[in-house]
Amino acid sequence: MATHDTLQTLPFPPVTKQHILNCSYHNWHPKYRAITPKARLIPLPSAFLDYLRSDGIVLPPEAGDEPSWSDNDSGIFSAADNHHDDDDDDESLDPSANWRDTHEAIERTIEELGGKVAPKLNWSAPKDATWIAATNSMECRTPNDIYLLLKSSDFVTHDLAHAFDDTADQSTAPDPEIAYHLVLRKWITLNPSVEFRCFVRNRRLIALCQRDLNHFDFLFNMQDKLRDTIQDFFDAKLRDTFPDANFTFDVYTPPPHDKVWVIDFNPWAIRTDPLIFSWMELLTMEVPIVPAPEETTVRLWIAEPGDVGGQASAAIEEAQDEEDIDDDDIEEIWQPEFRLVRRDDPEAYGFATPQYSAHKLPKDVVDASRGGEGQLREFAMQWEQAQKLAEQQRAEDSEDD
């Protein structure tokens, strides 16, 4: 998280609520549907959002449900656990009673997408919660798999409660109503080595880098081809169509690496992880505005703090008018910086280091669970129990004081 100090010193152009909304999946997907992996969007009613926001994790009963969390110290319940023989209020125990249509739409959509999906909300996928899933991934086969991930994710909570935090028009404009959607993407086995984050400043692709911070040797041989492919894709599909001049986008380039899929858009803002770059680098990186025809050198423009928009674009237009040079000439001699993780880079994760660990269980719990499949759930239960005991102990201690 950025400190107040960082926010003040980084020369970002103002990030508005509209910038955030433009990166919401439901806003950009209709326009870019043909260049994204197959996905379906399910509008979420307020009853479902209340469920996501509520404390604790109670899952709707599933066909043939047994009380699977028999001692339930985990705090995670299937509604079947609450079943009483003489109960006539079963409905009230099923959290999906108030959003049955949504539940059924989710079921149908999973089936339509081939039985396995990767879920996300308007902006965030529950990448930080995969530890709680039986698959240890975001792969979901049932609505309950989805609810468990969404309810366990801090990233999803951010979408629900903090979407417009730190925007420049925070106090001057009321928060627009957010049309929350559940995005279900047909599950594909992605090779993380060929996922890239791309940075666009003033409608120019200025930098790109790996999303997965492991070192992949083979990428170095493919670097030029990948850069060209992604640059061409950006020029043809995104440069003039995305509503903002500054933004980031994530792509996947499946083998044989001549096609590009958009996975996501993110705002040009501190909340977006710059990965192997720093925001200061991206904000101040030198970008050519035009090659001088009589010289072989390139004139460079350096961003002024706070100006990565209007002035630069005006300067480009003016230079182009004067010197009759078009964008293609510029592209020929200048390329975005494409950063890969080198073998000994300090940024590189060791293969054993889990990502998003700040959102997970303590390291010794995760390490200890590496022994076998499914054990993480058990550790999760033990962890919850340990937390409760610690809580109890603290309460007792403070009573003693």
- Shorter beta-carbon distance to ligand ATP: residue 48 or 155: 155
Neighbours of 231 (CB within 10 A): 19
- Shorter beta-carbon distance to ligand ATP: residue 12 or 187: 187
- Shorter beta-carbon distance to ligand ATP: residue 186 or 227: 186
- Shorter beta-carbon distance to ligand ATP: residue 125 or 208: 125
User: Got the DSSP string for 272-311?
Assistant: S--TTS-HHHHHH--EEEEE-TTSSSEEEE-PBTTBSSHH
End-to-end CA distance of the chain: 35
Least distance in Å: CB of 1 to ligand ATP?
Answer: 13
Residues with Cβ within 8 Å of 39's Cβ and at least 6 positions away in sequence, in order, are 25, 29, 183, 184, 185, 186
- Shorter beta-carbon distance to ligand ATP: residue 122 or 369: 122
- Shorter beta-carbon distance to ligand ATP: residue 154 or 373: 154
Least distance in Å: CB of 159 to ligand ATP?
Answer: 9
Tell me the two tokens of residue 362: 């303590």
User: Got the DSSP string for 95-109?
Assistant: GGGGGHHHHHHHHHH
Least distance in Å: CB of 36 to ligand ATP?
Answer: 9
Decide: 275 and 197 in contact? Cβ < 8 Å.
yes
- Shorter beta-carbon distance to ligand ATP: residue 279 or 383: 279
Least distance in Å: CB of 2 to ligand ATP?
Answer: 15
Pairing of strands 181-186, 39-43: antiparallel
Least distance in Å: CB of 21 to ligand ATP?
Answer: 15
Residues 338-370, buried b or exposed e (16+ Cβ, 10 A)?
A: bbbbeeeeeebeeeeeeeeeebbbeeebeeebe
Residues with Cβ within 8 Å of 264's Cβ and at least 6 positions away in sequence, in order, are 23, 25, 249, 250
H helix or E strand, kind and range, residue 182 = strand 181-186
- Shorter beta-carbon distance to ligand ATP: residue 97 or 190: 190
Least distance in Å: CB of 83 to ligand ATP?
Answer: 34
Least distance in Å: CB of 341 to ligand ATP?
Answer: 15
- Shorter beta-carbon distance to ligand ATP: residue 195 or 327: 195
- Find, among 270, 322, 262, 256, the residue nearest to 293 by Cα: 322
The whole-angstrom separation of Cα 291 and Cα 276 is: 28
Tell me the two tokens of residue 385: 């129990």
Least distance in Å: CB of 358 to ligand ATP?
Answer: 14
- Shorter beta-carbon distance to ligand ATP: residue 99 or 187: 187
- Binding residues (CB under 6 A) for ligand ATP: these are 37, 118, 120, 124-125, 127, 138, 155, 185-188, 190, 192, 195, 211, 250, 263-264, 266, 273
Tell me the two tokens of residue 353: 């280091």
Least distance in Å: CB of 252 to ligand ATP?
Answer: 7
Q: Is the dihedral of CA 197, 198, 201, 202 positive or negative?
A: negative
- Shorter beta-carbon distance to ligand ATP: residue 96 or 157: 157
Least distance in Å: CB of 349 to ligand ATP?
Answer: 14
Q: How many CA atoms within 13 Å lie on the side-chain side of 288?
A: 21
Q: How far is CA 91 from the centre of its chain?
A: 34
Least distance in Å: CB of 324 to ligand ATP?
Answer: 40
Q: Residues 61, 67, 71, 73: what is their CA dihedral angle, to the nearest 10 degrees?
A: -10
